[in-house]
Structure 1
Amino acid sequence: MRYCMGVDVGGTSVKLGLFETEGKLLDKWEIPTRKENHGEQILPDVAASILEKLEERKIRRKDVAGVGMGIPAPVDSEGVVQQTANVGWGYKEVTRELSELLDGMRVEAGNDANVAAMGEMWLGAGRGEKNVVMVTLGTGVGGGVIVNGHMIVGQHGAGGEIGHICVNREEEDACGCGLHGCLEQYASATGIAKLARKALSGEHEETVLHGEPSAKDVFDAVKAGDALATRIADEFGRYLGAALASLAVVVDPAVFVIGGGVSKAGPVLIPFVEKEFQKRAFFANKDTKIVLAELGNDAGICGAARLILN
């Protein structure tokens, strides 16, 4: 039997998974992300946890194909991170350091959104396909692009930063990245909430929305047939659908997988995106599927493990 490990580094916890190389998840667990002193204990903690699990399971190191890791930052093709926002690292040679801590075991690393896309391709909503784009709609908008089964990393490790496609050249407010009119300003949870506040600030019909509604409130109201909420969802769908049409003509995926917290609204959000996508898509891309992610919080460990099998 051959095994591989998947590691998903987050700001609060590190998720780990033990897999058979055929894709069966045998075990998953978490450890705290110790960010003090610039996160110097994160990789030693990960290594110790992996070695403990192998000992517990009586798995020989030679039977482990390797360890894959998803990191919340751009990661270059050598497994080097220049800086992270959430775990305290500056420049760090992640794959080299973890491999040394694991006595030479093979280690591969990638940006967490790209890795999650790899997970959905392998075991989730993109299963059976080799060309997949995942869009994660959370506090921000992240993304991962898989072409012919391989992640698009790019020169600077920033391939797949879908949230910073410009979708509104007239926007005066700045995105968190410093640019203006980014997709993240309209399709993230915070962006949808902002669209809702704007809609409520003007004259409008009766609505169940009030105060400062969240993205969840908006889509709950859509499900209840609320007209104003439906208009807000239409606006969200116009921005996201247009961005996906632009992406499709560049990377030509078989499927767009929509994940992240906003996707928990369920199938109700897909038609809003499909409507604008079909309106704007190049004719060769019109049969591209738009579906909801399936793996939830396991996407990261699944995709990280899959890095080892490429």
Structure 2
Amino acid sequence: MSDLNRHKAAIVLDFGGTTIKLGLIQQGHLLAQSTVPARSVGGLLPRLGDVRNAVLDLLGQAGLSLGDCFGVGIALPGIVDPERFTLLSINEKYADAIGFAFNTWAEEAFGLPIVMENDARAALLGEISYGTAKGESNAVLMIFGTGIGTAAIMNGKIVRGRHLQAGILGGHFVTDVNGSICNCGNIGCIEAQASHWSIQGWLSKQAGYANSILAKEPEMGYRQVIEASQTGDPLAVFAMQHLYKHWTSGIVNLIHAYDPEVVILSGGLMKSKDIVLPVLTQRVLEQAWTPWGQVRFLVAEDPNASVLLGLSHLLERGNKYDFV
């Protein structure tokens, strides 16, 4: 990072499936943040005007202008080409963003250069650079958003792979060969069994759903299931066991694939870490094959900021990082 930019802020945008998170970050410090609805099924291009306006509003609230910023970081939940500033593939959301020239948009909207990365990789970079896993060089991350994202770092190198999809498809590890069809086209993926977007469909097929307090919820996600399970609702308790089984399998698969010393958990689910983490830790340690010892579990200090911090770090480094 040049001395000229050291005291400037990064504009960072996390295009999630449910919300688009915006932030202003200066040397690892989150100066301001806000969100706008994603409406991701309707595409990305119709949202860009609102995103630009929200960024300008956020700058105003922070007492800053575009002249006080040195770049824009963009993350998406798909396969991203960081060198060409474009999205290669994505499922069920922002379909119109594939092939879109994000660098051209950022130049026209803000007059600034950009970096781009998959959202889970950005979250991992955020946690090992500024967050709970600062300094770790062998780690995996699982982030629970609308879907389930993953990323890995091995011997200090972020895992990307030849086709830019290595490490990030852990949400599509198969945990039930007879399970539900996933948005990706496969059968029995973790996302199709135990993600925020899939839990409503799974619950509605279960015996006793009509008599569960969950049937009365206007919206359904992790929070509602966890809260209902704490009241002793039979279906919610059963649902939590279902979720734990698939989350555990996914994390164990990540450990076996990437040989980490640390497992980092982030995303909205971690707002309930006091309930979820002890169960997940115990089950993973029981099932993972790690004769060298036990992996450590870390939770993002601010689960909503992991991606934003990672994008800021990439901007500060001029998009230069060791990848494999």
Question: Normalising by structure 1, what TM-score?
Answer: 0.76
Aligned counterpart in structure 2 of residue 39 of structure 1, from 29, 45, 50:
45
Q: Indicate the residue corresponding to 1:264 in structure 2.
A: 271
Preserved CA contact (<8 Å) 1:34 1:42: no
State how far apart, in whole Å, the 1-side matches of 2:110 and 2:225 are: 47
- Please state whether the residue corresponding to 1:189 is helix, strand or coil: coil
1:113/1:212 Cα in 2 relative to 1: closer, same or farther (>3 Å)?
Answer: farther
Q: Indicate the residue corresponding to 1:275 in structure 2.
A: 282
State how far apart, in whole Å, the 2-side matches of 1:216 and 1:41 are: 27
Q: Indicate the residue corresponding to 1:244 in structure 2.
A: 251
Offset of 1:265 from its aligned partner? 2.9
Q: Indicate the residue corresponding to 2:86 in structure 1.
A: 80
Preserved CA contact (<8 Å) 2:214 2:228: no
* Most deviating of 107-116 and 4-13: 4-13
Offset of 1:174 from its aligned partner? 1.1
State how far apart, in whole Å, the 1-side matches of 2:57 and 2:146 are: 34
Q: Indicate the residue corresponding to 1:200 in structure 2.
A: 207
1:187/1:255 Cα in 2 relative to 1: closer, same or farther (>3 Å)?
Answer: farther
Q: Indicate the residue corresponding to 1:126 in structure 2.
A: 133
State how far apart, in whole Å, the 1-side matches of 2:235 and 2:106 are: 51
- Please state whether the residue corresponding to 1:144 is helix, strand or coil: strand
1:257/1:190 Cα in 2 relative to 1: closer, same or farther (>3 Å)?
Answer: same
Preserved CA contact (<8 Å) 2:149 2:169: yes
Aligned counterpart in structure 2 of residue 290 of structure 1, from 297, 304, 315:
297
* Most deviating of 74-83 and 84-93: 84-93
Matched, 1:168 2:176: yes
1:140/1:286 Cα in 2 relative to 1: closer, same or farther (>3 Å)?
Answer: farther
Aligned counterpart in structure 2 of residue 67 of structure 1, from 67, 72, 78:
72
* Number of positions where the alignment pairs a residue of Structure 1 with one of Structure 2: 301
Q: Indicate the residue corresponding to 1:108 in structure 2.
A: 115
Matched, 1:152 2:159: yes
Question: Normalising by structure 2, what TM-score?
Answer: 0.73
Preserved CA contact (<8 Å) 1:199 1:232: no
State how far apart, in whole Å, the 2-side matches of 1:3 and 1:254 are: 35
Offset of 1:150 from its aligned partner? 4.9
* Most deviating of 190-199 and 134-143: 190-199
1:268/1:48 Cα in 2 relative to 1: closer, same or farther (>3 Å)?
Answer: closer
Matched, 1:211 2:215: yes
Offset of 1:281 from its aligned partner? 0.9
Preserved CA contact (<8 Å) 1:242 1:276: no
Offset of 1:167 from its aligned partner? 1.0
Offset of 1:134 from its aligned partner? 2.5
- Counterpart amino acid of residue 7 in structure 2: R
State how far apart, in whole Å, the 2-side matches of 1:100 and 1:277 are: 47
CA deviations on 1:101-136 (whole Å, 9 max, x unpaired) are 655x54211112322232233333323423333222
State how far apart, in whole Å, the 1-side matches of 2:102 and 2:94 are: 15
Q: Percent identity?
A: 24
State how far apart, in whole Å, the 1-side matches of 2:89 and 2:290 are: 40
- Structure 1 residue ranges without an equivalent (≥5): none
Aligned counterpart in structure 2 of residue 16 of structure 1, from 17, 22, 29:
22
Offset of 1:166 from its aligned partner? 0.7
